[in-house]
Amino acid sequence: MPSPKTRLQFAAFPYRVVDGQPMVALVTSRETRRWILPKGQPEKRLKPHQVAEVEAYEEAGLIGRIVERPLCAFPSLKRLRSGREVPTEVVVFLLEVQHELDNWPERRQRQRRWMSPGEAAAVTGEAGLVPVLLEFEALWV
């Protein structure tokens, strides 16, 4: 559990399998344009996995089956508009993508891109996500 000064976020890990190979979807952050997982803050009316599912839809236009148990958690730094960085713990939920929408709420604010987990590890702006991506890729070798 994060310390009192650490923020908590819930992320979707959107994936699909193409010709037996895993592909992962990342989106760009609005402010810094880094490649990240879709994620959001806790919401009182939603369970953590539901927050992740909603964020995948809003930020990436992805709909699918979400796993209710977390895959993992990793530390991150959320960059605020002010430039300040806030310690954050990101709890990650697997999302098997079944539908990819052409229109979604944040389509004008973010880019969405499918890539191999190895490529995602090379381009992500979240250092804590790299080992998760590489471990996920290793499951398919």
* Beta strands 62-66; 7-18: pairing state: unpaired
The number of domains in the chain is: 1
Q: Does residue 1 form part of some domain?
A: no
pLDDT for residue 4: 61
Q: Does residue 121 form part of some domain?
A: yes
pLDDT for residue 1: 56
* Beta strands 85-100; 7-18: pairing state: parallel
pLDDT for residue 58: 98
Query: Can you give the residue range of the structural domain that contains 17?
Result: 7-138
Q: Does residue 101 form part of some domain?
A: yes
pLDDT for residue 99: 98
Q: Does residue 21 form part of some domain?
A: yes
- Residue 90 tokens, joined: 């990101």
Q: Does residue 75 form part of some domain?
A: yes
| Residue pLDDT tens, the chain, 141 long | 555 688 999 999 999 999 999 999 999 998 888 999 999 999 999 999 999 999 999 999 999 999 999 999 999 988 777 878 889 999 999 999 999 999 999 999 999 999 999 999 999 989 999 999 999 999 987
pLDDT for residue 3: 57
pLDDT for residue 100: 97
Q: Does residue 48 form part of some domain?
A: yes
Its pTM stands at 0.93
Q: Does residue 90 form part of some domain?
A: yes
CATH of the domain at 46: 3.90.79.10
pLDDT for residue 2: 57
Q: How far is 134 from 51, CA to CA, in rounded Å?
A: 24
pLDDT for residue 57: 99
